[in-house]
Amino acid sequence: MQKRNLAVGHFFNAPFIEACERHLPRIREVFFAWPGVLSCRPAPDYTKEGVRERLVSDLTWARANGIELDTLFNCNCYGDDAVSTTLADFIVRNLDEMGAAGLFPDTVTTTSPFVAVVLRRHFPSVKIRWSINLRVHGTVGFESVMELFDSFYVSREHHRDLAYLKEVSDWARANGKTLGMQANSGCLRQCPFQTFHDNLHGHGDGRRPQDVAAMNEYGFTFFRCRARYESGAYEDFLRSTWLRPEDMPEYEDFVDVVKLATRRHIDPVAILDAYATYGYKGDLARLMDPVNPFPKPFRNEAFDENEDLWHAVRNCKDANNCRHCGRCTELYRRVAEPCLFS
């Protein structure tokens, strides 16, 4: 049975309303950064004519159609303002602005405990969700801050672990908390660059001229995944934490929200269509965020043709301490082949 559990990141590079309208029974939330608010993705250029107006129009449509709003204060770093009345006033001002537009959020997602405290004082009715970027791996990490949040995302590194999901889900429901997971993370499992990369979004995103110059001079990239793949370690993609659209029914009984990373993706509509319908034909890697180029596509149908091997890989008990047993290498050999369709 289909569930209304998808959280879709607002996007500008395709018709948002048109894409969402045909999947209304599946969409629970839309998440977004309000103009001027840094989040864990590069911000659109709101100085361009019509950009802000389109966001307001899309969110107004979403609210009118029963879709909840989740606004983001999930930048990893706020610099000198991280604990300050400046940041507190900024949060209050922006939520008041959303409220004046008829778009006061149902949920605020944050990485900052200080932001959570500010929200509890000034907006006690809003639900606070702790971001997936906090990387808390179990219930012990949440027990000491029960008063600061209403929902949270499970650790990416345990997305495929059904026993873990059940345990955390049981704890969340027993404690009145809501649980979420991200379906299409293209990040490396346990990526050592991820916190560094996320922090860049609070400091120019690594795309300023001086950043680019330094990266060119030193041959550096903050996309560690891309560097790994370019070195030939394509099996790392299979060892990651994403979930196929077809496999989602096994996981979604344990979570209330399934987050789709669509805000900066080159084809957000394909992601929404795939996960809303539990099916996809094409290169599976194209659904993941970030998107990485591979010399061969990962043909999604081939995973079903190799169901037993794929089941062993995604349920591997050594996934976070890989023994390089050869199963991912063999699966890569079977699924990474030229597509038979365009």
**229 vs 58 pLDDT, higher one:** 58
- Tell me which amino acid residue 237 is: F
Q: Is 333 exposed, middle or buried (0-12, 13-18, 19+ CB in 10 A)?
A: exposed
Angle at which helix 113-122 crosses helix 85-100, to 10 degrees, equals 50
- For position 170, what pLDDT does the model report? 97
Tell me the average pLDDT across 176-181: 96
Structural domains of the chain in order of their starting residue, each with its CATH number = 6-205+240-295 (3.20.20.190)
The pLDDT of residue 206 is above 80: no
Report pLDDT digits (tens) over 92-109: 999 999 999 999 999 999
Report pLDDT digits (tens) over 257-311: 999 999 989 999 999 999 999 999 999 999 999 888 888 899 999 999 999 999 9
- For position 340, what pLDDT does the model report? 40
Distance between CA atoms of 57 and 59, rounded to whole angstroms?
A: 6
- For position 192, what pLDDT does the model report? 81
Q: Cβ(223)–Cβ(188) under 8 Å?
A: no
The pLDDT of residue 52 is above 70: yes
Q: What is the mean pLDDT of the chain?
A: 91
Alpha helices in the chain (DSSP H): 16-21, 51-64, 85-100, 113-122, 140-143, 162-174, 194-200, 209-218, 224-230, 235-238, 268-277, 300-305, 307-314, 327-335
b/e map 8-25, b = 16+ CB within 10 Å: bbbbbeeebeebbeebee
- For position 204, what pLDDT does the model report? 62
Least confident among 81-90, 231-240, 333-342: 333-342
**What pLDDT band is residue 341 in, cutting at 50, 70 and 90?**
very low
Q: Which structure tokens are listed for 77?
A: 């770093």
**What pLDDT band is residue 339 in, cutting at 50, 70 and 90?**
very low
Give the largest Cα separation in the chain, rounded.
Answer: 58
**What pLDDT band is residue 338 in, cutting at 50, 70 and 90?**
low
Least confident among 159-163, 188-192, 207-211: 207-211
Tell me the average pLDDT across 8-18: 97
Could you give the percent of the chain with pLDDT greater than 70? 96
Please list the residues that pair with 179 across neighbouring strands: 152
Q: Which structure tokens are listed for 325?
A: 């047993």
- Tell me which amino acid residue 98 is: M
Distance between CA atoms of 240 and 191, rounded to whole angstroms?
A: 10
- For position 205, what pLDDT does the model report? 63
Closest CA to 192 of 158, 227, 152: 227
Sign of torsion over alpha carbons 144, 149, 150, 156: negative
**What pLDDT band is residue 50 in, cutting at 50, 70 and 90?**
confident
- For position 342, what pLDDT does the model report? 32
Tell me the average pLDDT across 210-237: 86
Report pLDDT digits (tens) over 111-152: 999 999 999 999 999 999 999 888 888 899 889 899 999 999
Distance between CA atoms of 253 and 3, rounded to whole angstroms?
A: 9
Tell me the average pLDDT across 164-185: 96
Our CA dihedral for 97, 258, 146, 37, rounded to 10 degrees, sits at -30
